[in-house]
Each structure stands twice: as structure tokens, then as C-alpha cells.
């Protein structure tokens, strides 16, 4: 939801296919996320949405097709996978903070080891990011001392520490108690308003309606339907999308 | 039952020296065996982490052998059995430099390497996969992820069992007396057979063993506390 | 290799049953008898020690805790010598090496087993105790009818492991002249003089086969119990991960 969307795609999938043995996990994915765009990927469980998002930073491999990130082929042999990953912000469903490091150390880890920034510089940046997510006071706390919502916000700050051009979210609020979902969505909405390119796998329809530019609906490994959030939620075209939305609303 | 305790006997003549020598030998045995076990144990644990089936099978066989054969028998095999396979010159050299101590260190060290490697392996397996994924997702290489994220956590998890096994190494040094190493238990028996002050000398040795074991356990607890993963 | 066979042929019987029938039973059979008796007698003592450790009464708790710490901190060999010298003093009569070993093993194993029992009892969810007390069972009845049966079932693999430890510990009988397997082997070796490696290799192999078989049995039982438990209790996933953590190509299980 920004006015700065340029024409070149930030993330693009071209004829992407993935199999787990005989199971066709992703089939013929063709889609693009433009710069500054916020895309929400939804669908029933097992539809491949998490798998799709994990192929972007190579946490999952693909058997055919091309994925491009910021103009570069993600699976090109010449790419330094570590350098590359450090430029893609990824937020996990289960936060995955490092319990033996403090919050500030969690955020500073990648900048100091991959970018070789100085400890002081990295810590200043960490504190600035923590302010952005509303946790500046907990810089020296340990993950085990924080609530789920706080941990996820730290995880977002950790991903932002590398100044990535785009952020990927894999069901960021699914593991949270309901009362903490809001604080995390708040951070994500602000990121979207600040112009970040985002690809989010989520069930949070309110979030999608507020900040998403487009919704991709997936089922059985394929993107079945895409559209603007308003169009998708009020009048889904495909039968499967209709069933999915009615199931979602009925609980 | 008349208890005629006379601890002063232990302060006469050479006895204090003997006891001191016994304690020192025990500590030396423990330290050297521990070093051997720690280094070899780490190597074995890392070997088991590789993709090579040969490596994994070799380590598994090593661990099974050392955990299913009694420590005393392993010591005998090394001290009585192995030298007979070595050439004469090596045997002579071993005898000259006090082979008992050396073989005791080797036997205890190699055996406890199996236990320590299992401890490390348990620690590594307890780290959820997601920790590794998260560190790779940030851009850390395999080695950096291992060094900064995985191993620190694995070591914390393995620490309590490793402390227990360190105490076990310390206690196992007493078995070296069976091949003539003049460690504390051996010295205790010598003094007892000469002075007939059975209770006194055994009490003293028992107290020494207990004190050092408790020290090791306390040290371990302090380490655990210092490096614990903090939660609410 | 042929050495090994000839040794087994000539002295195998000695290793197996010692001097019998020209003397008391020895060798592997004695090792086995010592181990089985040791763990069997240690078990009830272990339950008592475990309950004492967990008791709210200090006069029960302190002696039990002291014993456990003594056993953890003092080498088994020292224990053997204590019993060896002081049992005759206490009873006023000579005590055989066998009895010495047996008593030492019982006490030593009871202390370790007590920790196993304690872990087994504390590993059960407190909900079990609460439910039993809620229907009116006393502490003793709760322990006997609800807690211990479940805890003991879960502990069988750990107890088998302790049995294996006991078998290995019988080898220390060598030091006080008990004619168990290790002592028998050392006698064979001193008779033959020139084949120590072969004799001690046979010795190691014998222990290995026996202990390894029992360890594998314990592991199999552990697997079965874990499967059983998974169906009954609200799931707490086992820590074991199927894929090694440090392989280079992460993939979804």
C-alpha cells in the first residue's frame, strides 16, 4: 500500500516446481512480488504456502523453474548462499531466537559476523531497531524472559538488522496467544506503511485487508486465485477459495 | 567393638609423603585421562555428525565396546595384553618409563572418551532444527552457525552429564592400583598393611575421595549456573 | 586366532564355572549369580531409599541423601575394602569374598537404583498423585497401587542398564580374590604366561557379548515403552530429532 512501487519485480517465481519424492509440493508457480508491494499468501494447511516462501531464501530447494530475488537467480551456483540469505529478512512462526544470547546480542549476531560491523555499531543499531518495535527497554533481557509477542517482535528486529530489501513472514502470529497477536501485527503494518516489500503467509485476514496489496490463494501446491484483498474476501472466484473462507469464518 | 583410633600414626615417618604422593598421582591420572577423553570424545562426536556411514559405524562400535566391557578388564587388556603385541624395544622402553601409569591413563581416557562423546552427541541432538535454520536464514555459514549458535547451546545441555562423567573418571583412577600404580587406593592399602591402622587410613582416604568428588560436582554446578540459559 | 580356540578348548570350562566340582562355582557363572543376586537384593532397598529421599521427614531424608552422595563420591573399590575389613569385625566371623562383594554391590547399586526410582516416580505427572488422593487413597496406597506400578514399568530399561553396570562391577571381585570371570581369566593368563593378549581378549569379548545383548534389550524395551506412553499421556514430544542438526542441506522432515 505505497506509492513507490517500481516496475521491476522484487521477487519472481517462474514455472517453479517442487517434489518431495512423489508428492508434488509446488506446481507451476508463476507469480511476482513488486517492489514495495505487500503480498499475503493464504490457503488451507498443506497447500504449500510455507514451502513456497521458504524457497525464496533456499531453506527449501526446487527441482525446476527459476526464482529471482532483487534481480538475481536465487539458485545460481555462483551465488554465495550465506551472503544472499543475509539480505533476505525471514521471520519464523516459532520466532527461533537464540536462547543463550541476550536480545541485543541476537540482533547484533548477523551484523557482527556476516557484515563484520563493530560491536558498538551493531548494538546501537540493535537498540534503534528495538525502539522501532517497541522493546528498547529489554535490550539486555534474554529470550526466555520475554513473552511470545515480545520474542516475535525481537525476531522481526533481528531480521531488519541486516537492512534487507524485502521481508518474508512464515505465519508470524500462528504460535502466539490471541492477546499478543495485535502487537506483532502492529509492527508489521508499520513496516508495510514504511514501504517494505513483504511476502506474508498468514491467516490474519484483518491484516490482509488493511495493508496487503494482493492476496494469493494457494491450494494443493498451486496458486489458485489472486486478487486485491477487498475483491478476494468479499467475492472469491474459485470454489476452493469460497470453501476456505467460509471454513475460516465459521470458527 | 572397640575403636582404638590413633590418627597420629598417619603423621609419622613416610606416611604423609606417601599419602601426598598418592593424592597427586590420582589427580595426575584424572587430569590426563580427562584431557584424552575430552579431546577424543569431541572428535568422535563430530565424526558421528558427518554423513559418512563408515565414520558413524566406527564411532558406534567404539562406544559400544568401551561401554560394555568393564573398566578393569580394559585396563588389563592394555597393560597385560597390548605390550605382548608390541616389539621388544617398545616393551623395554615402556617398562623403563613406568608403563603402568601410561597404560592406566590410556585405558581410562579411551574408555571415558566414549562416554563424553555420547554426552556431546546428546547435547547436539537436543538442539531443535529450527535453531540451525534461523542462523542459516540470517546468513551465517555452517561453521559460524555451529560455533556461535549450536555448540554453545549443546555444551550447556551436555554439561551436567559431563560433570558426572568427570567424577567417574576420578573414581575410576582407583582401579589403576590393580596394575601397580601408586595412586591413593594403592597407597592406602600399603599403609594399612604396614601400620595396621585400618580405620584411620581408610577413613582418611575416603574423606579425600569424597572431598574431591564433591569439589568437582560443586565446580560443575557453578559452571552450570554461570552459563545457564536465562528464563523468567 | 587358533590360539584363542585352543585357549577356549583347554580352559573354557575354568572360565565358565571356575573350580567346580573341585571347589566352589566360579567364572562366568559366579559373575552372573553375583550380578543377579546383587541387583535383586538392591531393588527393594533402592525403593526404600528413594522414598526416604523424597520424604518430608528430615530424619529419613538425611541418611538416604548422605548414602547417595557417599556412593557417588567414593570409588567402588574403596567400598569393597571397607566391607572387606569391617564386616568380619561387625559379625565377629570370617566373611567370604563372595559375601563381601554381594553386600557391597547391593548397597552400591541400591544407591544408584534409588536415583533411577526417584526419577521414575518424579517423572510421572503430578496429576496421577492428585487423582489418587482425590478419590481418598492414602499416601501408602497411592504409592503402592498407582505410582510405583507405573513408575517401575517405565524404569525397566534404566534398571536393565543398572544390571549391566552390576555385571561390570563384579569384575572388581578380582582385587579381593573372588573367583569370578576376571579372576579366572587372570589365573589362566598366569598359567599360560605367553598369551596374555588372547586371554584378556576373550575376557573382554565375553563381557561384551553379555552386556551388549542386555543393553540392546534395554533399548528395545525403551522404544516400546515410549510408544505405549505416547498413546496415553498428552503428548510431550521426545527430544530426539530424526535428522541430524548439522547437515548442510536443510530440508523439511
Query: pLDDT tens for residues B18-51?
Result: 889 999 999 999 999 999 999 999 889 888 888 8
Length of chain B (residues): 232
Domains of chain B: 20-226 (1.10.3720.10)
- Which among B73, B136, B167 has CB closest to C182? B73
Cβ of B205 and C70 within 8 Å? Answer: no
Q: Whole-angstrom Cα distance, residue C154 to residue B194? A: 50
In this prediction, residue B3 has a pLDDT band, given cuts at 50, 70 and 90, of low
Residues of A in contact with C251 (CB under 8 A): 60-61
Residues of C in contact with B71 (CB under 8 A): 168
Cβ of B206 and C74 within 8 Å? Answer: yes
Instruction: Kindly list the averaged pLDDT for each block of 10 residues, start to end, along chain A of length 251.
Output: 56 93 91 93 90 92 91 88 89 92 93 89 95 94 94 95 93 92 93 94 88 92 91 88 84 62
In this prediction, residue C230 has a pLDDT band, given cuts at 50, 70 and 90, of low
> What pLDDT is attached to residue B4?
66
Inside any domain, residue C26: yes
Inside any domain, residue C108: yes
Residue of A nearest to B231 (CA): A144
What strand order describes the sheet that includes A64-69?
A23-34, A9-20, A64-69, A72-73
What range does the domain containing C17 cover?
2-248
Query: pLDDT tens for residues C87-107?
Result: 888 888 888 889 999 999 999
Which of residues A208 and C237 earns the better pLDDT score? A208
> What pLDDT is attached to residue B201?
87
Query: pLDDT tens for residues C108-141?
Result: 999 999 988 888 888 777 778 788 878 788 888 8
ipTM (interface pTM): 0.86
Residue of B nearest to A103 (CA): B230
- Which among B133, B136, B209 has CB closest to C73? B209
Q: Whole-angstrom Cα distance, residue A85 to residue A162? A: 10
When pLDDT is averaged across residues B219-223 and rounded to a whole number, the result is 94
> Rounded to a whole number, what is the distance in Å from the CA of C100 to chain B's nearest CA?
17
Inside any domain, residue C206: yes
Counted domains in chain C: 1
Cβ of B124 and C246 within 8 Å? Answer: yes
Q: Name, of B5-14, B35-44, C139-148, the range with top average pLDDT.
A: B35-44
- Which among A20, A51, A59 has CB closest to C250? A59
Whether B226 shows a pLDDT value over 60: the answer reads yes
> What pLDDT is attached to residue A251?
62
CB A47 within 8 A of CB A206: no
Q: Whole-angstrom Cα distance, residue B22 to residue B35? A: 20
> What pLDDT is attached to residue C99?
92
Whether C247 shows a pLDDT value over 70: the answer reads no
When pLDDT is averaged across residues B3-19 and rounded to a whole number, the result is 75
Could you give the C-alpha distances from C42 to B11, B195, C37, C107, in angstroms and in order? 39, 35, 8, 7
Name chain B's partners: 3 or more CB pairs within 8 A: A, C
> Rounded to a whole number, what is the distance in Å from the CA of B67 to chain C's nearest CA?
9
Query: Quick one: CA dihedral C233, C240, B228, B120, positive or negative?
Result: positive
Inside any domain, residue C106: yes
- What string of DSSP letters covers B92-158? HHHHHTTHHHHHHHHHHHHHHHHHHHHHHHHHHHTS-HHHHHHHHHTT--HHHHIIIIIHHHHHHHH
Inside any domain, residue C93: yes
> Rounded to a whole number, what is the distance in Å from the CA of B189 to chain C's nearest CA?
9
Inside any domain, residue C7: yes
Inside any domain, residue C253: no
Q: Which of B183-187, C113-117, C127-131, C194-198 has the lowest mean pLDDT?
A: C127-131
Which of residues B115 and B9 earns the better pLDDT score? B115
- Which among B131, B146, B167 has CB closest to C72? B167
Inside any domain, residue C90: yes
Whether C239 shows a pLDDT value over 70: the answer reads no
> What pLDDT is attached to residue C249?
38
Cell numbers standing for residue C43: 531393588
- For A162, the 3-state DSSP assignment is coil
> What pLDDT is attached to residue C191?
86
Compute φ and ψ for C82, nearest 5 degrees.
Answer: -55, -55
Residue of B nearest to A157 (CA): B138
> What pLDDT is attached to residue C248?
37
The CATH code of the domain that includes C195 is 1.10.3720.10
Whether C244 shows a pLDDT value over 70: the answer reads no
Amino acid at each position: 500500500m505505497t506509492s513507490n512501487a517500481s516496475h521491476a519485480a522484487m521477487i519472481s517465481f517462474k514455472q517453479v516446481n517442487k517434489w518431495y519424492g512423489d508428492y508434488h509440493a509446488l506446481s507451476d508457480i508463476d507469480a511476482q512480488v513488486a517492489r514495495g508491494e505487500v503480498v499475503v499468501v493464504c490457503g488451507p494447511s498443506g497447500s504449500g504456502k510455507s514451502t513456497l516462501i521458504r524457497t525464496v531464501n533456499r531453506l527449501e530447494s526446487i527441482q525446476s523453474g527459476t526464482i529471482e530475488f532483487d534481480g538475481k537467480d536465487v539458485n545460481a551456483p555462483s551465488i554465495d548462499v550465506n551472503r544472499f540469505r543475509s539480505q533476505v529478512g525471514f521471520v519464523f512462526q516459532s520466532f527461533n531466537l537464540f536462547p543463550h544470547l541476550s536480545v541485543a546480542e541476537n540482533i547484533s549476531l548477523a551484523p557482527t559476523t556476516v557484515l563484520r560491523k563493530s560491536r558498538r555499531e551493531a548494538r546501537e543499531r540493535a537498540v534503534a531497531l528495538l525502539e522501532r518495535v517497541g522493546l528498547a527497554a529489554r535490550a539486555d533481557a534474554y529470550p526466555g524472559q520475554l513473552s511470545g509477542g515480545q520474542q516475535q517482535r525481537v525476531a522481526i528486529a533481528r531480521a531488519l538488522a541486516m537492512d534487507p530489501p524485502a521481508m518474508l513472514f512464515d505465519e508470524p502470529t500462528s504460535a502466539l496467544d490471541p492477546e499478543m497477536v495485535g502487537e506483532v501485527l502492529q509492527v508489521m503494518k508499520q513496516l508495510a506503511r514504511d514501504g517494505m516489500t513483504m511476502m506474508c503467509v498468514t491467516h490474519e485476514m484483518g491484516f490482509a485487508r488493511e495493508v496487503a496489496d494482493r492476496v494469493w490463494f494457494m491450494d494443493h501446491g498451486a496458486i489458485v486465485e489472486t486478487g486485491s484483498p477487498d475483491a478476494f474476501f468479499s467475492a472469491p472466484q474459485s470454489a476452493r477459495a469460497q470453501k476456505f473462507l467460509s471454513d475460516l469464518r465459521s470458527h | 567393638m572397640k575403636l582404638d583410633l590413633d590418627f597420629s600414626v598417619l603423621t609419622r615417618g613416610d606416611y604423609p609423603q606417601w599419602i601426598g604422593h598418592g593424592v597427586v598421582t590420582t589427580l595426575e591420572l584424572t587430569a590426563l585421562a580427562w584431557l584424552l577423553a575430552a579431546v577424543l570424545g569431541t572428535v568422535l562426536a563430530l565424526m558421528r555428525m558427518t554423513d559418512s556411514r563408515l565414520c558413524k559405524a566406527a564411532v558406534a562400535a567404539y562406544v559400544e565396546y568401551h561401554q560394555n566391557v568393564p573398566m578393569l578388564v580394559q585396563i588389563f587388556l592394555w597393560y597385560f595384553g597390548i605390550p605382548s603385541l608390541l616389539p621388544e624395544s617398545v616393551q623395554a622402553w615402556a617398562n623403563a618409563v613406568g608403563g603402568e601409569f601410561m597404560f592406566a591413563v590410556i585405558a581410562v581416557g579411551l574408555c571415558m572418551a566414549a562416554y563424553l562423546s555420547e554426552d556431546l552427541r546428546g547435547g547436539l541432538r537436543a538442539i531443535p532444527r529450527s535453531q540451525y535454520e534461523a542462523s542459516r536464514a540470517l546468513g551465517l555459514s555452517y561453521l559460524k552457525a555451529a560455533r556461535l549458535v549450536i555448540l554453545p547451546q549443546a555444551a550447556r545441555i551436555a554439561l551436567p552429564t559431563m560433570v558426572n562423567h568427570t567424577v567417574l573418571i576420578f573414581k575410576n583412577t582407583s582401579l589403576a592400583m590393580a596394575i601397580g600404580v601408586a595412586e591413593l587406593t594403592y597407597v592406602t592399602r600399603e599403609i594399612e598393611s604396614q601400620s595396621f591402622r585400618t580405620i584411620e587410613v581408610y577413613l582418611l582416604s575416603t574423606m579425600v575421595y569424597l572431598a574431591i568428588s564433591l569439589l568437582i560436582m560443586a565446580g560443575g554446578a557453578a559452571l552450570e549456573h554461570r552459563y545457564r540459559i536465562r528464563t523468567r | 586366532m587358533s590360539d584363542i580356540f585352543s585357549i577356549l578348548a583347554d580352559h573354557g570350562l575354568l572360565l565358565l564355572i571356575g573350580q567346580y566340582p573341585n571347589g566352589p562355582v566360579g567364572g562366568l557363572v559366579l559373575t552372573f549369580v553375583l550380578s543377579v543376586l546383587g541387583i535383586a537384593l538392591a531393588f527393594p532397598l533402592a525403593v526404600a531409599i528413594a522414598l526416604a529421599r523424597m520424604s518430608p521427614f528430615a530424619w529419613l531424608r538425611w541418611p538416604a541423601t548422605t548414602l547417595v552422595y557417599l556412593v557417588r563420591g567414593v570409588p567402588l573399590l574403596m567400598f569393597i575394602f571397607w566391607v572387606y575389613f569391617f564386616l568380619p569385625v561387625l559379625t565377629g566371623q570370617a566373611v567370604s569374598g563372595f559375601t563381601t562383594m554381594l553386600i557391597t554391590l547391593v548397597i552400591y547399586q541400591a544407591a544408584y537404583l534409588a536415583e533411577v526410582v526417584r526419577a521414575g516416580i518424579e517423572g510421572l505427572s503430578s496429576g496421577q498423585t492428585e487423582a489418587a488422593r482425590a478419590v481418598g487413597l492414602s499416601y501408602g496406597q497411592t504409592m503402592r497401587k498407582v505410582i510405583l506400578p507405573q513408575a517401575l514399568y517405565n524404569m525397566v530399561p534404566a534398571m536393565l542398564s543398572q544390571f549391566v553396570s552390576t555385571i561390570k562391577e563384579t569384575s572388581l571381585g578380582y582385587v579381593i580374590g573372588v573367583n569370578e570371570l576376571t579372576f579366572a581369566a587372570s589365573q589362566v593368563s598366569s598359567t599360560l604366561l605367553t598369551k596374555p593378549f588372547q586371554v584378556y581378549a576373550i575376557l573382554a569379548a565375553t563381557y561384551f557379548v553379555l552386556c551388549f545383548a542386555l543393553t540392546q534389550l534395554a533399548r528395545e524395551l525403551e522404544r516400546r515403552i515410549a510408544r505405549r506412553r505416547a498413546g496415553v499421556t498428552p503428548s510431550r514430544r521426545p527430544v530426539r530429532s530424526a535428522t541430524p542438526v548439522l547437515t548442510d542441506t536443510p530440508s523439511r522432515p
